[in-house]
Amino acid sequence: MRLRTKQCLVSTDPPALSVRKKSREAAAWGQNTRSATVPRFLHTADWQIGKPYHWIEDPQKRARLQQERVNAVSRIAATASEQNVDAVMVAGDLFDSSTVAPAVVMEVMEAIASITCPVLVIPGNHDHGGAGGIWQRRDVQRQMRERCPNLQLLLQAEPQVIAGMVLLPCPLLRQRDSHSPADWLESLNWSSLPHDQPRVVLAHGSVQGFGAEGQVNQLHHDRWPEEEVDYIALGDWHALTQLNPRAWYCGTPEPDRFPTSDHDQRSQALLVDVQRKQPPEVTPIATGAMSWHRIETKVSSGADLQRLKDTIESCVRRKVGKDLLRLELSGQLSFQGHQQLQQHLQDLDQQLLHLRIRGMPHRRPEPGEFQTFLQRDDAPLIKGISKDLATELDDNTAPGSEHNDIDRAMLEQAMLELHRIVLEDVEDQEASCG
> Which of residues 132 and 33 earns the better pLDDT score?
132
**What pLDDT shows up at residue 18?**
41
**What pLDDT shows up at residue 376?**
58
Phi/psi at 247 (nearest 5 deg)?
A: -130, 120
Q: Angle of helix 405-433 relative to helix 380-397, nearest 10 degrees?
A: 150
The pLDDT confidence band at residue 1, using thresholds 50, 70 and 90, is very low
Q: Decide if pLDDT at 175 tops 90.
A: no
The pLDDT confidence band at residue 262, using thresholds 50, 70 and 90, is confident
Nearest to 285 by CA among 9, 7, 1: 9
Q: Decide if pLDDT at 4 tops 60.
A: no
Q: How far is CA 8 from the centre of its chain?
A: 7
Distances (CA, A) of 287 to 20, 23, 271, 295, 383: 10, 9, 12, 23, 60
Q: DSSP assignment of 172-213, as one string?
A: -SSSS-SS-TTGGGGG--GGGS-SSS-EEEEEESEETTSSST
What does DSSP assign to residue 96?
S
**What pLDDT shows up at residue 109?**
97
Q: Decide if pLDDT at 210 tops 60.
A: no
Note the pLDDT tens digit of each residue in 232-253: 999 999 999 999 999 999 999 9
Quick check: helix, strand or coil at residue 407? helix
Nearest to 282 by CA among 237, 234, 238, 231: 231
The answer to whether 265 and 9 have CB atoms below 8 angstroms apart is yes
The pLDDT confidence band at residue 25, using thresholds 50, 70 and 90, is very low
**Hey, which bits of 8-136 come out as E strands?**
40-44, 87-91, 119-122
Distances (CA, A) of 304 to 112, 301, 316, 368, 401: 48, 5, 18, 20, 28
Q: Decide if pLDDT at 144 tops 90.
A: yes
**What pLDDT shows up at residue 261?**
82
Note the pLDDT tens digit of each residue in 324-375: 999 999 998 887 888 899 999 999 999 999 999 999 998 777 766 666 665 5
CB atoms closer than 10 angstroms to residue 210: 12
CB atoms closer than 10 angstroms to residue 72: 25
Mean pLDDT of 59-79: 96
d(CA 373, CA 368): 10
What does DSSP assign to residue 34?
-
**What pLDDT shows up at residue 413?**
67
Q: CB under 8 Å to 172, separation ≥6 — which residues?
A: 92, 122, 123, 124, 125, 128, 129, 181, 204, 205, 217
Nearest to 242 by CA among 198, 285, 183, 282: 282
Q: Decide if pLDDT at 211 tops 60.
A: no
Nearest to 122 by CA among 146, 77, 158, 148: 158
Strand partners, 219: 207
d(CA 69, CA 50): 8
Please, what is the average pLDDT of the chain? 84
Per-domain residue ranges of the chain: 7-286, 291-363, 370-433
Element (H, E) at 294: strand 291-299
d(CA 40, CA 299): 50
d(CA 206, CA 237): 7
Note the pLDDT tens digit of each residue in 114-141: 999 999 999 999 999 999 999 999 999 9
**What pLDDT shows up at residue 433?**
65
Q: Among residues of the chain, what percentage have pLDDT more than 70?
A: 76
The pLDDT confidence band at residue 263, using thresholds 50, 70 and 90, is confident
d(CA 288, CA 323): 11
**What pLDDT shows up at residue 424?**
60
Q: How far is CA 211 from the centre of its chain?
A: 19
The answer to whether 231 and 200 have CB atoms below 8 angstroms apart is yes
Q: Decide if pLDDT at 287 tops 60.
A: yes
> Which of residues 179 and 199 earns the better pLDDT score?
199
**What pLDDT shows up at residue 335?**
79
119-122 vs 151-153, strand pairing mode: parallel
Q: Angle of helix 59-82 relative to helix 102-113, nearest 10 degrees?
A: 20
Q: Among residues of the chain, what percentage have pLDDT more than 90?
A: 63
Note the pLDDT tens digit of each residue in 408-428: 667 666 766 666 666 566 555
Phi/psi at 94 (nearest 5 deg)?
A: -60, -40
Cis status, amide bond into 159, omega within 30 of 0: no
Q: CB under 8 Å to 355, separation ≥6 — which residues?
A: 324, 325, 327, 345, 348, 349
CATH code for the structural domain at 7-286:
3.60.21.10
**What pLDDT shows up at residue 21?**
40
Q: How far is CA 400 from the centre of its chain?
A: 42
Mean pLDDT of 288-307: 94
Please count the CA atoms within 13 angstroms of the CA of 157 that sit on its side-chain side.
16
Note the pLDDT tens digit of each residue in 76-114: 999 999 999 999 999 999 999 999 999 999 999 999 999
